Structure 1
């Protein structure tokens, strides 16, 4: 018999695919979308204030010591000046006054008002009701003043505060006159 040429069999190559890079990319995409989803959530502090009709003002125009006297409004003006008042502007017994920054200025005023509010709240059976501070930076104020007033909130241990940039017509007139 003749020598027949033998069939040449090819070697079968391994069909394994290395998925290490694909797994790494998948985990990076998952982390990316988790971070983006978390950053997309709005970071806002809710401030619950009563409606203007909820104020209990008598026929003589004087308001009772209630939520209206827990609200302290701080308007940041130019030249490191602060205008502050309590309650509703024009309806409160406390007239707006101009105060400076520092321990003898706004800090002393906030500590005094906080003490009065907490004492009153404790006397009516609500010892956890503290002051509610509304911070209104004017267009003339600077960022340093806003940071300083936020530091004062931490120093005086006022937990409930909000930064608002809308002014009532009365407040705009007050800023224009100062």
Structure 2
């Protein structure tokens, strides 16, 4: 018999699909969207602002002790700080100009905090610390605001707010000093 060519059969390819890579990609996508979802959630900080009245800001209500607990810090150009305790129309401690640093605003705020905590303890409210209102003028620089916020952290003053509106009396006070 003559040599007949053998029939060449084609190799049958496996019809199975390997999904290993698809599973890896799916897990990566799930992890990615979980992380993005967690990072996109808003992080909010509780902020309490004083109530407003017609001539400017009314410092944290008229409750007992609010006049004694309120310290206002006015920031102006050339590293100038003016601070007073209570309301400007009836201050517990008269406005005075203070410098930045350990022997300036830090010492003043530390002494004020100590006095306010003693006063609050005498009233039977030992956790009522000072309320500091920081008012940077349009002429003050960002470094001064950061410095005063650092002082709040160093002295451990828990309740403070940044307010950008000045009363006419405060504007006159900054202009005069």
Q: Does 1:55 align with 2:62?
A: yes
Give the CA RMSD over aligned residues: 2.8
Q: Is the 8 A contact 2:67 2:92 kept in 1?
A: no
Shift of 1:89: 1.8
CA-to-aligned-CA distance 1:63-87 (integer Å, 9 cap, x gap): xx71111010101111111011112
Q: Is the 8 A contact 1:73 1:84 kept in 2?
A: yes
Instruction: Give the structure 1 partner of residue 30 of structure 2.
Output: 26
5+ long unaligned stretches in structure 2: 1-6, 53-57
Between 114-123 and 85-94, the greater mean CA deviation after superposition: 85-94
Alpha-carbon distance in 1 for matches of 2:85, 2:26: 62
Instruction: Give the structure 2 partner of residue 62 of structure 1.
Output: none
Shift of 1:120: 0.8
CA-to-aligned-CA distance 1:107-126 (integer Å, 9 cap, x gap): 22112211211111111111
| TM-score, normalised relative to structure 1 | 0.76
Alpha-carbon distance in 2 for matches of 1:177, 1:74: 16
Instruction: Give the structure 1 partner of residue 159 of structure 2.
Output: 160
Residues 111 and 15 (structure 1), Cα distance of their counterparts in 2 relative to 1, 3 Å cut: closer
The correspondence of residues 121-140 of structure 1 with structure 2, limited to 5 A, is 121-140=120-139
SS at match of 1:94: strand
Number of equivalent positions: 164
SS at match of 1:84: strand
SS at match of 1:85: strand
| TM-score, normalised relative to structure 2 | 0.77
Bigger proportion of residues as strand: 2
Alpha-carbon distance in 2 for matches of 1:46, 1:97: 27
Instruction: Give the structure 2 partner of residue 60 of structure 1.
Output: none
Shift of 1:159: 1.9
Residues 24 and 155 (structure 1), Cα distance of their counterparts in 2 relative to 1, 3 Å cut: closer
4+ aligned runs moved over 4 Å, structure 1: 48-54
Instruction: Give the structure 2 partner of residue 46 of structure 1.
Output: 47
Residues 125 and 168 (structure 1), Cα distance of their counterparts in 2 relative to 1, 3 Å cut: same
Alpha-carbon distance in 2 for matches of 1:145, 1:134: 14
5+ long unaligned stretches in structure 1: 1-5, 57-64
Alpha-carbon distance in 2 for matches of 1:152, 1:84: 14
